């Protein structure tokens, strides 16, 4: 019989996207459990079995909901009888993990960021092991750990050719191309900053602006030299066409950026918990992945100048990324869990 595994998860696309990739790769009976799954735009409810579990982003003020979630998890365990619980992420997963520890069900954790979440740090001593994809995260983990590759979607791994990418977008392959996107939720502040920085540069643009931006006004601003979309389901084409990328610095974004070896100008989301996006970006800069601009500290022509520098000498960044890929962890998270 196949293993029965509960994936405890919830929250942002940075947690849910790798969780769903992991589920698709494991030859197991998988059930997702956590808070806020039913209404989450990053969770594929049609293709997944899941159970809503009460929780709270505030462990003190929301302690009743967390305890309620532990009781709900006990009931779920009796019904589903899991062999293992895999935890990815935030307080959305905490009640399920706590219940698993109490019931002595083995747990494995995965942290995609340089700074593991507080929940990951709290439960790491009780886990069989914790998977990390940034070696810098080791200093936060108390307990066994493994360096594993980021779980990447098949649509990303397919690597369409650069020629096919330009055909897909209807852009000119002889022109420098800048990819702009704010991650799974888009980023309205980033959209405004970047369009102004690109206004006078001789580049064409693929701008993935998120669902809350006015696509028509952005298209009018750029003119014919840009493709503007709220969301891209075929991100492999976007990465293949890009000479450089301007983006946030969530773990999933960095995973895809390094896979395609595209130099980046990182503008970290300033309100990310534990400033993990800033730390991700600074770490990526130290290994040569690109440059960093903090949103609150951008002045004058800073962005335009950094974009020019990246476009003038992208090869040094590409070589650094390729070197890093040679020493990147090759262990598969799904295969290690299934052992």
Query: In this predicted model, what pLDDT tens digit does every residue of 57-112 receive, in sequence order?
Result: 877 777 899 999 999 999 999 999 999 999 997 889 999 999 999 999 999 999 98
3-state secondary structure the chain: CCEEEEEECCCCHHHHHHHHHHHHHCCEEEEEEECCCCCCCCCCCCCCCEEECCCCCCCCCCHHHHHHHHHHHHHHHHHHCCCEEEEECCHHHHHHHHHHHHCCCCEEEEECCCCCCHHHHHHHHHCCEEEECCHHHHHHCCCCEEEECCCCCHHHHCCCCHHHHHHHHCCCCCCCEEEEECCCCCCHHHHHHHHHHHCCCCCEEEEECCCCCCHHHHHHHHHHHEEEECCCCCHHHHHHHCCEEEECCCHHHHHHHHHHCCCEEECCCCCCHHHHHHHHHHHHHHCCCEEECCHHHCCCCHHHHHHHHHHHCHHHHHHHHHHHHHHCCCECHHHHHHC
- Residues 315, 5 contacting (CB under 8 angstroms): no
Mean per-residue pLDDT for 314-320? Answer: 88
Confidence of residue 266 (pLDDT cuts 50, 70, 90): very high
Q: What integer best gives the mean pLDDT of the chain? A: 90
Mean per-residue pLDDT for 168-176? Answer: 96
Instruction: Please state the φ and ψ torsions of residue 127, each to the nearest 5 degrees.
Output: -90, 150
Q: Which residues pair with 220 in a beta bridge?
A: none
Confidence of residue 185 (pLDDT cuts 50, 70, 90): low
Q: Which of 20, 11, 21 is nearest to 120 (CA)?
A: 11
Q: For position 109, what pLDDT does the model report?
A: 98
Q: Cβ atoms within 10 A of the Cβ of 42, count? A: 17
pLDDT digits (tens, 9 = 90+) for 109-167: 999 888 899 999 999 999 999 999 888 889 999 999 999 988 988 888 888 999 999 99
Residue bearing the bigger pLDDT, 6 or 89: 6
All domains in the chain, ordered by first residue:
3-147 (3.40.50.2000), 155-326 (3.40.50.2000)
Give the integer Cα–Cα distance in Å for 130 and 143: 8
Statement: residue 175 has pLDDT above 70: yes
Mean per-residue pLDDT for 277-296? Answer: 91
Confidence of residue 41 (pLDDT cuts 50, 70, 90): confident
């Amino acid at each position: 019989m196949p293993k029965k595994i509960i994936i405890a998860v919830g929250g942002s696309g940075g947690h849910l996207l790798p969780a769903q990739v992991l589920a698709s790769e494991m030859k197991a009976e998988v059930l997702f459990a956590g808070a806020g799954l039913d209404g989450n735009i990053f969770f594929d409810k049609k293709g997944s079995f899941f159970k809503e579990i009460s929780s709270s982003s505030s462990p003190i003020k929301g302690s009743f909901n967390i305890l309620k979630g532990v009781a709900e998890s006990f009931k779920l365990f009796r019904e589903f009888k899991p062999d293992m619980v895999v935890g990815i992420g935030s307080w959305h997963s905490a009640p399920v993990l706590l219940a698993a520890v109490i019931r002595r069900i083995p747990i494995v954790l995965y942290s995609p960021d340089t700074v593991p979440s507080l929940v990951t740090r709290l439960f790491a001593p009780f886990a069989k092991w914790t998977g990390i994809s940034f070696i810098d995260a080791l200093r936060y983990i108390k307990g066994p750990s493994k360096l594993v590759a980021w779980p990447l979607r098949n649509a990303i791994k397919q690597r369409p050719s650069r020629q096919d990418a330009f055909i897909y977008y209807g852009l000119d392959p002889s022109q420098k191309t800048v990819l702009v996107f704010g991650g799974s939720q888009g980023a309205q502040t980033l959209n405004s900053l970047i369009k102004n920085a690109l206004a006078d540069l001789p580049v064409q643009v693929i701008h993935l602006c998120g669902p809350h931006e006015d696509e028509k006004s952005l298209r009018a601003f750029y003119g014919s030299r840009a493709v503007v979309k709220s969301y891209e389901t075929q991100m492999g084409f976007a990465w293949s066409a890009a000479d450089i990328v301007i983006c946030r610095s969530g773990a999933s974004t960095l995973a895809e950026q390094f896979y395609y070896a595209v130099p980046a100008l990182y503008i970290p989301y300033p309100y990310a918990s534990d400033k993990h996006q800033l730390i991700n970006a600074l770490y990526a800069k130290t290994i040569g992945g690109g440059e960093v601009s903090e949103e609150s500290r951008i002045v004058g022509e800073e962005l335009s100048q950094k974009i020019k520098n990246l476009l003038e000498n992208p090869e040094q960044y590409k070589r650094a990324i390729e070197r890093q890929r040679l020493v990147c962890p090759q262990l598969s998270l799904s295969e290690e869990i299934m052992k």
